[in-house]
Amino acid sequence: MAPPLFILKDVHLTFGGTPLLEGAELTVSAGQKLALVGRNGSGKSTFLKIAAAIIEPDRGDRALQQGVTLRYLPQEPDLRGFATTGDYVVAGLTSGDDPHRASYLLQQLGLTGLEEPARLSGGEARRAALARAMAPEPDILLLDEPTNHLDLPAIEWLEGELKRSRSALVLISHDRRFLETLSDSVLWLDRGRTRLLAKGFAAFEAWRDDILELEEKERHRLDRKIAQEQDWLRYGVTARRKRNMGRLRALQGLRKERREQRRVLGQVEMTAAEGPSSGKLVIEAKGVAKSYDDRPIVQPLSLRLKKGDRLGVVGPNGAGKTTLLNLLTGALAPDAGTVRLGANVVMVTLDQKREALDPETSLQDTLTGGRGDHVFVGGQPRHVMGYMKDFLFSAEQARTPVRVLSGGERGRLMLARALAAPSNLLVLDEPTNDLDLETLDLLEELLADYEGTVLVVSHDRDFLDRVATSVLAFEGAGNWTEYAGGYSDMITQRGHGVLAREPLEARRPDKGQAAAREAAAPRRRLGFKEQHALKTLPEEIERRRREIAALEAKLADPALFAADPALFARTTEALTATHDALAEAEDRWLELEMLREELEGQA
C-alpha cells in the first residue's frame, strides 16, 4: 500500500489556559476526500492552519511526503500587494502549471481577473483565493468553508470540479449536501481529539450519535461506581482503614477520571416567540414588478402566501432575491402591481449581512436593547444570562463587543434576538450562514414546528429540502416561478437546478448584437396546445367555481349528514377535489398569460 501523502500526529494546542487540541491526528492519502467536521469553536479552522503550517502547535509531528504539493484556502484571504485578482491567482502557480486554468477558474467563480483587491467585497476576495488554491491542481487541497459567499450555481459547479479533481481534499463545510456529495471519509474533531469514519458524510451523524450514546452510558456507569465507593468510604473505611487503602486510591482515581472527562458542548435551546395568530392569508402579491436602470428584477409576479406556508427563494447572486423579499414584505414599493399583508401579521426579519448588529455594542446590550439585564421573550422577561446560555454564549461574553464575535457567534446572536420578538411571519435572508450542523438541525426543527409563516432566502439545498413547502425560483430576466416542495422537488419539476445569471455583456448587448441574434434564432411563440389552453381555461375556471358553489350549498343542508352519511362524505371529497382542480387551472392560466405577455413584449 502506498504511504500517506501527509500526516499530523499527536497535535496539542492550548489557548488562554483551555486545551483546544489534545492529541488530534490527521492522515491524508492520494485522492482521498476527507470531511473535517465538529462544532463551532471545536478548533477545525485552527487544526487546518496547523496542517497548512500557518500555526505552530505546542506539541505534535507534521510530515509531508517529499515532492507533494499542498494548497490552503483561508477564511480571510489577504490580497495586499497585488494589482489585480488575476495577478494574485497567477502568483500561486509554479513553473509547470497551466496559466489558462487560472483564467478559467476566475471566470467560473464570477471574476474577470481585472478586479482591484482594495475594491473587493469579502465574498469576492474568497472566490479569488479559491481560484488561487485550485489553479495549480495540487496533490492536497485544504479548504476552509469554500462555499461561503457562493451562490447555488457556483456551489454546484464547485462540487463537480472537486469531484473530478485528482487532488486529495480536507474539507470544512456546514453545507450537508456539499459534504455528502464529495466526502469518502470523515474526521470528527470533538473535545480536542479526532475520530475517523471510513465512510462518507451521509453515514456520519448516525455514527456520531451512537458514540455519544455509548459515552453517556459509560458516564452513568462511572457515576454509579463513584456513588457506591463514596458510600463505602463513609460507612466502611474506619474499621478497615489499613487493609483498604488500595480501594481508597481507586476511588480517588475514579474521581480524577470523572473530572477529566470533557463533556460534549451544550446544544442551542432554540424556540421562537410566537405572536398572535395571523389570518389565513399572509401575503398577496398581484402583478408586482420592479426594475433598476432598465434591468428587470421582478417581472409581473402574482403570489399568495398563506398561514403555515414556508416559501424558499432561490436564485444566483445578483438575481434580486433580497429585493424580492423587500417587495413581498412591503419594505420596498413596486413599480407596478400591489402587495397586501393579511390581518394581524407580526413580522420579524433576519438580514443576511448582520447589518442590524452594532459592532461596538456588547452582546448583553444587543439582546436587552441596553435596558437592564432582562430579555423579553414573547413578552415575558428572562434573565439575559440564561437566555445567552440557550444560544451557547458564556457569562464571560456578556460584555464582549459584537465586533470580536466569530461569524457563527454573530449568526447565533442574530437568531437569539430575532426569535425573542413575538412574530407570526419570519423573514430570513440567508439564516444558515456560519451556523454549525447541530445549530442548523435545531433551526430546521424550530421552523418545522413554527405555527406562523416563513419566507426564507437560502443557498443551502439540504436546508430548503427540510424546511420549504414551496420554492420560488429565478428563471432569468426578472421572471420567478413557484414550485411545490423543497429544492430537490423543484429540480424534479423543472429539470435542472439554479442556473448562473448571464454575464453583464450578454444582458446588455449593443443593437448590432441583438439584431444578429434575432436573425439567427427563431422567436419563441405559443404552441397550439398553449393557445388552446389560454382560450379554454377561463371557461373551465368558471365551471369549477359553479361546481364548488353547488357542492357547498349541498353541504350547507344541516340534515344531510344525518340522512345520508355516505353522500355527505362523497360530497366533501368532491368539494376538496374540485378546489384542487380550480387552483391547478388558475395557476396554469396565470403561467400561460405571463408567458404570452413576455413573448408579446419581445415582438
Q: Could you tell me how many helices (H) and strands (E) the chain has, helices first?
A: 20, 20
Contact in structure between 48 and 142 (CB atoms under 8 Å): yes
Burial (CB count <10 Å: 0-12, 13-18, 19+), residue 206: exposed
Q: What is the dihedral of CA 337, 342, 348, 349, to 10 degrees?
A: -20
Q: Is 470 annotated among the ligand-binding residues? A: no
Contact in structure between 11 and 47 (CB atoms under 8 Å): yes
* DSSP state letter for 97: S
Under 8 Å CB-to-CB from 583, ≥6 apart: which residues? Answer: none
Q: What angle do CA 560, 566, 570 make, to 5 degrees?
A: 90
Q: Is 23 annotated among the ligand-binding residues? A: no
User: For the chain, what's the residue count?
Assistant: 603
Q: Is 51 annotated among the ligand-binding residues? A: no
Q: Is 236 annotated among the ligand-binding residues? A: no
Q: Is 160 annotated among the ligand-binding residues? A: no
Residue for grid cell 340522512: 563
Q: Is 319 annotated among the ligand-binding residues? A: yes
Q: Is 321 annotated among the ligand-binding residues? A: yes
The residue among 464, 477, 454, 403 whose CA lies nearest residue 432 is: 464
The residues pairing with 313 across neighbouring beta strands, listed in sequence order, are 457, 472
The residue among 34, 11, 51 whose CA lies nearest residue 188 is: 34
Q: Is 38 annotated among the ligand-binding residues? A: yes
**Rounded Cα–Cα distance for residues 426 and 348 (Å):** 5
The terminus-to-terminus CA distance of the chain in angstroms comes to 66
Kind of pairing between the strands at 33-37 and 168-172: parallel
Provide DSSP, 190-213: ETTEEEEESS-GGGHHHHHHHHHH
Give 503-510's long-range contacts (Cβ < 8 A, gap of 24+): 507/295
Three cell numbers, residue 228: 457506591
**Rounded Cα–Cα distance for residues 52 and 9 (Å):** 14
Q: Is 40 annotated among the ligand-binding residues? A: yes
Cα four-point dihedral sign 235, 239, 245, 246: negative
Q: Is 39 annotated among the ligand-binding residues? A: yes
**Type of residue numbered 401:** P
Q: Is 466 annotated among the ligand-binding residues? A: no
Q: Is 16 annotated among the ligand-binding residues? A: no
Under 8 Å CB-to-CB from 420, ≥6 apart: which residues? Answer: 273, 367, 375, 376, 377, 378, 387
Q: Is 394 annotated among the ligand-binding residues? A: no
Three cell numbers, residue 395: 457569562
Side-chain half-sphere of 75: how many Cα atoms within 13 Å?
A: 14
Q: What angle do CA 339, 340, 345 make, to 5 degrees?
A: 130
**Rounded Cα–Cα distance for residues 9 and 575 (Å):** 68
Q: Is 43 annotated among the ligand-binding residues? A: yes
Contact in structure between 569 and 551 (CB atoms under 8 Å): no
Under 8 Å CB-to-CB from 471, ≥6 apart: which residues? Answer: 311, 312, 313, 314, 464, 482, 483, 485, 486, 487, 489, 490
**Rounded Cα–Cα distance for residues 517 and 420 (Å):** 54
**Rounded Cα–Cα distance for residues 560 and 377 (Å):** 48
Q: Is 316 annotated among the ligand-binding residues? A: yes
Q: Where are the alpha helices (DSSP H) in 261-333?
A: 321-328
Q: Is 4 annotated among the ligand-binding residues? A: no
Question: Binding site for ATP, residues?
Answer: 38-45, 315-322
Question: Binding site, residues?
Answer: 38-45, 315-322
